[in-house]
Amino acid sequence: MAKVTVKSSIIASVYYQPESKSLDVNFMDGHTRIFYQIPESVVHTLVTCDSPGTFYMSNIRGAYPQQ
């Protein structure tokens, strides 16, 4: 998946690598967090939902290993 810009007040863009199931989340403040073991279905929901920031806070942050 290419880098995808999302409509969010906290997330600028995301980049998913399906081979390693890693997700780079680039925040508006310039920080990046990398999450591992993310199913492609979760990424799809993140980039297509009405509120990616809320989805991230509820379903990704704290739920998957991160760097």
Taking residues 34-42, report their average pLDDT.
97
pTM value is 0.92
- Within 13 A of 23's CA, how many CA atoms are on the CB side? 26
* pLDDT at position 24: 98
- What's the token pair of residue 40? 């492609």
